[in-house]
Amino acid sequence: FSSTMARFNLEGDEIKPLTICLISGGCFIGSHLCEKILADTFHKVIVVDVYTDKIIHLFNRSSPWLDRIVFHNVDNNAESSRLEPFMQKSDIIINLTSINHPADYNTRTMDTIYCNFIDAVPVVRYCTRKKKRLIQFSSCEVYGKTIGSFLTEDHPLREDPKFYVLKEDESPCILGPTEKKRWANACAKQLIERLIYGREVNCSIYVFLLFVLFVTLSLTLHLSSNAAESAKFGLEFTIVRPFNWIGPRIDYIPGIDGERRGVPRVFACFSSNLLRGESLELVEGGHSKRTFCYIKDAIEALLLMIENPEKANGHSFNVGNPNNEVSMKELANLMIEVYANVSGQPASNFSTVDVSSEDFYGIGYDDCDRRIPDMTLIHRQLGWIPMTSLQEILEVTLRYQHETYSEAVKHATSES
Ligand code: UDP
């Protein structure tokens, strides 16, 4: 990408070079976002994190973009003021900080609430005070269960999309009881969303009152005014609700690049089972359904948000792929088929086994039955459509898993 080449946004305005602060930018999403920004734009990135393993390749001495990326080793949950110097230098702050593995919601409930709500509050406050644009990561978890899940199995309304498609500005957020700790994440993310909306609304009321006063004065004094200026005073925000993004570098493989007993999300769990030749474990028979979105499609959506503030500000966006819905049982069988091809082993080497949620996650687990994102808003505002089929995502990502981990898994297995 040539830095002298002009780039234009959806409204035909020339895009100016930005400095983007990625809080917890060393994560799976951050690593892909950095790659995209560095390869396809002229923006600069300030990455703040304590982890570098997923982004280390970007700091190769021969990389052409070394003057556009900087890493700061800062633990952002220790003290929020430590983030301020980096946010201050930036035009946009993207807060990726999140605990987003369901196994952690049960076992690290307090950490989940602190990380996903309490630690995000100072960032929201700073952005409001200093008038910095904020892109805050939330989660599709905020929707909880679908309305349809409360109907009997054979109820005809279960087929009605109104009962299961999740729409940003219409669907209710249906969480389970407090004793089901699974919902700690959904609740914390919902609260940070509500805080952000509150900031905007409060500011808007304030700005509206100022605006009314200004117009009254202008009319009285026959002054002309530029009303659009008033919009500048609210918190400029965009909220992202990712729907099961997957791709290379997702999560970790327990005992290889993560804690031995850790439980990552389903794609990494099934990958680990495949790499080790273990049965893929289907929680409660694997009837729950998810829609999977390729990380590179999702990153396109993020870049559109970054470069089109007029279209993205003030919205919570679903970012997912409604065409890629599968039950966990179907996912397991598809992954077995694809992995057999990738690894050159017969599919009959692999199998699935049913496990109870209590055995797998412990007490306090609960589940979302289905997650289909409505795409109307993101398509209308940003023209974004996810392109990659589940089959393609699995082929690319399982090839990556095999190439990255199979030797290390063999080594670890022979040692134990
Ligand atoms: N799951 C499973 N086997 C596993 C890991 C997860 O059957 O080894 C199920 C889990 O119970 C849930 C779905 O897969 O129904 C997706 O779980 P994930 O951890 O990816 O996170 P979620 O989509 O629930 O946030």
Name the domain count of the chain. 1
pLDDT higher than threshold 90 for residue 15: yes
What tens digit of pLDDT does each residue of 90-142 get?
Answer: 999 999 999 999 999 999 999 999 999 999 999 999 999 999 999 999 999 99
Q: Whose CA is nearest to atom 5 of ligand 1?
A: 266
Q: Whose CA is nearest to atom 6 of ligand 1?
A: 266
What counts of helices (H) and strands (E) characterise the chain?
A: 13, 15
- 3-state SS, residue 198: helix
pLDDT higher than threshold 60 for residue 370: yes
d(CA 218, CA 196): 32
With a 6 Å cutoff on the Cβ, whether 281 touches ligand 1 is yes
- What pLDDT, on the 0 to 100 scale, is given for residue 152? 96
Q: How far is the CA of 301 from the centre of ligand 1 (A)?
A: 24
Q: Are strands 289-291 and 133-137 parallel, antiparallel or unpaired?
A: unpaired
Q: How far is the CA of 104 from the centre of ligand 1 (A)?
A: 12
Please give the average per-residue pLDDT across 75-83, as a whole number. 78
Q: Whose CA is nearest to atom 1 of ligand 1?
A: 266
pLDDT higher than threshold 90 for residue 415: no
In a domain, residue 58? The reply is no
With a 6 Å cutoff on the Cβ, whether 244 touches ligand 1 is yes
What tens digit of pLDDT does each residue of 198-246 get?
Answer: 875 455 555 555 555 655 555 544 433 333 322 444 899 999 999 999 9
Residue 322 structural domain? 98-405
Buried b (16+ CB within 10 A) or exposed e, 204-243: beebeeebeebeeeeeeeeeeeeeeebeeebbbbbbbbbb
pLDDT higher than threshold 90 for residue 46: yes
- What pLDDT, on the 0 to 100 scale, is given for residue 71? 98
- What pLDDT, on the 0 to 100 scale, is given for residue 81? 82
With a 6 Å cutoff on the Cβ, whether 180 touches ligand 1 is no
Q: How far is the CA of 320 from the centre of ligand 1 (A)?
A: 16
Higher per-residue pLDDT: 247 or 207: 247
Please give the average per-residue pLDDT across 357-366, as a whole number. 95
In a domain, residue 193? The reply is yes
What tens digit of pLDDT does each residue of 141-196 get?
Answer: 999 999 999 999 999 999 999 999 999 999 999 999 999 999 999 999 999 999 99
Annotate 35-71 with DSSP letters as a single string: HHHHHH---EEEEEES--TTTGGGG-TT-TTGGGEEE
d(CA 100, CA 295): 16
Q: How far is the CA of 288 from the centre of ligand 1 (A)?
A: 8
With a 6 Å cutoff on the Cβ, whether 269 touches ligand 1 is yes
With a 6 Å cutoff on the Cβ, whether 369 touches ligand 1 is no
In a domain, residue 150? The reply is yes
Please give the average per-residue pLDDT across 43-68, as a whole number. 96
Give the number of the atom of ligand 1 that is nearest the alpha carbon of residue 267: 20
What tens digit of pLDDT does each residue of 372-387 get?
Answer: 999 999 999 999 999 9
In a domain, residue 410? The reply is no
What tens digit of pLDDT does each residue of 249-298 get?
Answer: 999 999 999 888 899 999 999 999 999 999 999 999 999 999 999 999 99
Q: How far is the CA of 265 from the centre of ligand 1 (A)?
A: 6
> Across all residues in the chain, what is the average pLDDT?
92
In a domain, residue 273? The reply is yes
d(CA 232, CA 56): 37
d(CA 337, CA 334): 5
In a domain, residue 415? The reply is no
d(CA 376, CA 165): 11
Give the number of the atom of ligand 1 that is nearest the alpha carbon of residue 371: 23
In a domain, residue 49? The reply is no
In a domain, residue 300? The reply is yes
Q: What's the CATH code of the domain at 324? A: 3.40.50.720
Q: Whose CA is nearest to atom 23 of ligand 1?
A: 244
Give the number of the atom of ligand 1 that is nearest the alpha carbon of residue 101: 19
Residues in the chain: 416
Give the number of the atom of ligand 1 that is nearest the alpha carbon of residue 103: 19
With a 6 Å cutoff on the Cβ, whether 328 touches ligand 1 is yes
Q: Whose CA is nearest to atom 21 of ligand 1?
A: 265
With a 6 Å cutoff on the Cβ, whether 98 touches ligand 1 is no
d(CA 363, CA 188): 20
